[in-house]
Each structure stands twice: as C-alpha cells, then as structure tokens.
Amino acid sequence: MSRLQTTLLPPLLAVLFAALLCSIALLISGDNPGAALAVMVTQLGAGTTAVDVINTGAVYYIAGLAVAVGFKMKLFNIGVEGQFRIAACVAAIVGGLLPLPPVLHVIVILLTGMLVGMLWALVPALLRAYRGVSEVISTIMLNAVATGVIAWLISPAAFGFVQGNNISTPPIAPTGHFPGIDLGPSGTIFGMVFVAALLGVGYWFLLGRTRFGFELTASGESPTAATAGGVEARRMVLIAMLMSGAVAGLIGLPEVLGREHAYTLVAPQGYGFTGIAIALLGRNHPAGIAVGALLWAFLDKSALALDNIGVPREIVLIMQGVIVLSVVVAYEIVRRYAMAAEQRRVAAELRAQQQPVAEGAAT
C-alpha cells in the first residue's frame, strides 16, 4: 500500500463505518437514514450554516492543534479543556477591565489567553518533568480545579457582572472586538479564523521544518535515542506542554472576541476533549486536523437540521464517538498490515540476494 492509501483509507473507512452504524440505529428507532443524510448535506446551503461550520471549525482546529503539539511528544494533555476555559475566562476579565486603544486591546487579550493557558499547563509540566507524575492524571485534576476557579472568578463576589439572569465577566469594550467578515444573511466569519489558519502554518513549519520540531518528535518517538543525541528530555517535556497550553489558551477566544464579548457562566465546554478526537482523526498533521475539525463542526451543526425533521439529534454524538474509536482501530490495523507487508517484501529481497552467495558457498 502506498503512503497515501495508508493515510487516507483509515479515516474514510471510519466515517463510512460510523455512518453505517448510525443508519442501523436510526432504522431500529424507526427513522429514515436516507432523509437524515439528505438533510445533513442540504443544510449547508441554508441560512448561516456554512459560516457556522467554518467558525466552529476554527475553534476545533485550534483545539486539535493544542492537543497535537503534546501528542507529537507522546504527551497526553487531557488538560486542554481546563487550560482553554480558564484562559478564556481570565482573558475576558482582563479585556473587560482594561481600557486600551483598538488594536492593542485585542493583542493584550490574545496574549493574556496564551499566558494563562501556559501557566495552567506549567503545573503538570513541572510535575511530569521533575516528579515523574503522569500528565494524564494531573491535568484531569486541574480540569476540575479550573471549573471551581472559574465559578469563583465569575461570581459577583469576584469579577462577576450580573445582567438580568445571566452572570458573565465584565463586557469587553468595542476596541477589544476582533472584526470579522460580514457576509450579510449568511453570517459573519470570525476574524480569528485567520489566526487559526496562521497557527496551523506555524505548527507545520515549526514541527515539520525546523531542528526544534525534529528534536521534539524524536524525544517523543524514543526518549533514550533523543537523549543519546544530545536532546534534553526534561526541557522538551516542559516546552511541549507549555506550547500546548499556550495554544489551548486561544481556543475560547474566537467566541469571546467575535461574538460574546464576555465569558459567561454558560460558555460552552468540552472543546478540549473534542480537540483530542480531532487530533487523533487528523493524525497530528495540520491538514488532517483541519479536515477533522471541519467534519466535526459539520456534524455538530447537523444536529439542528436533524432535529427539524424529527430525527433525534443525539445520533450525531454517537456518530462522532464511533468515528474516533473506529479511526484509531483502523489506523492500527492498517499499520500492522503495512508492517507485515514491508517485512514480507524485505524478506523476499534478502532471499533473492542471498541465493547466489549460498550456492557459491556450497561449491
């Protein structure tokens, strides 16, 4: 199998498998899978759906990148969830309290988000590098801590801003709004979409085209080999985790800067876990993550359209879950198959080469 096949086949199979499984589920519950699929495709032309998919996709893309930076080094930053939420909250508070001139205001908010995300990732990074504590457990604990801290930050006792029934951080002045592209009735594309795209390019260049990226990937693949090659593993753990946290700090900002202009108590959650799924789907490749993010956002938006024709919208969640699980299984099967094929090929070539030598030795 060619490299292209081994890369593209598994996700395609996974999506098909998920669609098949969901169709069966729909048939059992007495719905029509064909109509569901038709509605999912046609929704893209209606209203603001296409723009919504792109906007949500950008959020998911940043989330996928944040997770992928860690994955590159075999670090499981389950804490992207907590990092992004606390970063968005603090960035919104800073943005709401500081009166600043137009461009600077946005930059300060973005930098605050990255800094807070980094600080929240610093704890597991230090624990992992100096105390050998698994980052999986420490980040899960910190996710819960973040929930509590945010609840406190937004409470009226701290920085909360009560407006009617809704509590949020103080609203950000218009100088701190990130301008988007107004497409009239089709909606407004977040300006942050372009920041997300830039991040993707930066990720591709840094990890794929620089010595630093090579060292990072190498210490993930084989810490001992990397250490022998003069890479300090501890430093790499710290850097990878902090980078992951900094990118995570940006996840919540497209919505804060482009639509809400504050961080509310009911702000969406779960982007961190979605990011894990998307990084897996895209195999940590910037282009793959982009496809995964758009697919995920498309499925998300389909929920509404499906609801309109009476299909339970939760079928989308099942589809997403099945896609993640089957894509990792599919990658593994293809990897094993490719490896076995490679071994057979090498063995055949070696046999062909050794034949004359063996005969020569016999005479």
Partner 1 sequence: MTAPATSRPVPAARARRLPGWATSMLVVLVGLVVLSITATLTGQLQLTSAGTAQAAVQLLLPILFAGLGGLWAERAGVINLGLEGMMILGTWGAAWAGYQWGPWAALAAGAVFGALGGLLHAVATVTFGVNHIVSGVAITLLGAGVTKYLSTLLFLPVSANPRQSPPLRGFDSFSITPLTDVLDALVRANLVFVTDVAGILQGLLTGLTPTVLLGALAVPVTYLLLWRTAFGLRLRSCGENPVAAESLGVSVYTYKYIAVIVSGGLAGLGGAALVLNPGQLGYLEGQTGGRGYIGLAAMIFGNWRPGGLLAGSALFGYVDALQLRAGGDAVHALLYAGTILAVLVAVLWFAQRYWLAAVWALVAGLVVYLVYFFVDTIPSQFAAFAPQIVTLLVLAVASQRLRPPAADGLEYRRGEGD
Residues that bind partner 1 (CB under 8 A): 25, 29, 76, 78, 123, 127, 131-133, 136-138, 140-145, 147-149, 151-152, 155, 157, 273, 276-277, 280, 312-318, 320-322, 324-325, 328-329, 332-333, 336
In three-state secondary structure terms, 231 is coil
Beta pairing partners, 168:
161, 264
| Cβ closest to partner 1, residue 125 vs residue 257 | 125
The string of DSSP letters for 115-183 reads HHHHHHHHHHHHHHHHH---HHHHHHHHHHHHHHHHHHHHSTTTT-EEETTEEESPPPPGGG----EE-
Residue 160, both tokens = 């909360």
**From its phi and psi, is residue 261 left (phi > 0), alpha (psi between -120 and 50) or beta?**
left
| Cβ closest to partner 1, residue 189 vs residue 319 | 319
Beta pairing partners, 189:
181
Alpha-carbon distance 329 to 51, whole Å? 32
**Within a 13 Å sphere around the CA of 56, how many CA atoms are in the beta-carbon half?**
22
| Cβ closest to partner 1, residue 108 vs residue 329 | 329
DSSP 188: E
Closest CA to 155 of 141, 142, 169, 176: 169
Beta pairing partners, 182:
188
Using the Cα atoms of residue 225, residue 228, residue 231 and residue 232 in order, give the sign of their dihedral. positive
| Cβ closest to partner 1, residue 102 vs residue 270 | 270
Closest separation between CB of residue 12 and partner 1, Å?
A: 18
| Cβ closest to partner 1, residue 58 vs residue 78 | 78
Alpha-carbon distance 292 to 294, whole Å? 6
Closest separation between CB of residue 276 and partner 1, Å?
A: 5
Closest CA to 253 of 128, 106, 144, 118: 106
Closest separation between CB of residue 209 and partner 1, Å?
A: 27
Closest separation between CB of residue 153 and partner 1, Å?
A: 9
Closest separation between CB of residue 39 and partner 1, Å?
A: 17
| Cβ closest to partner 1, residue 54 vs residue 315 | 315
Residue 37, both tokens = 């699929």
Closest separation between CB of residue 1 and partner 1, Å?
A: 18
| Cβ closest to partner 1, residue 343 vs residue 354 | 343
| Cβ closest to partner 1, residue 161 vs residue 194 | 161
Closest separation between CB of residue 340 and partner 1, Å?
A: 12
Residues 6+ apart with CB under 8 A from 35: 309, 311
DSSP 264: B
Closest separation between CB of residue 9 and partner 1, Å?
A: 16
Closest separation between CB of residue 107 and partner 1, Å?
A: 31
| Cβ closest to partner 1, residue 314 vs residue 342 | 314
Alpha-carbon distance 58 to 254, whole Å? 8
| Cβ closest to partner 1, residue 59 vs residue 149 | 149
- Residue count (the chain): 363
Closest separation between CB of residue 105 and partner 1, Å?
A: 29
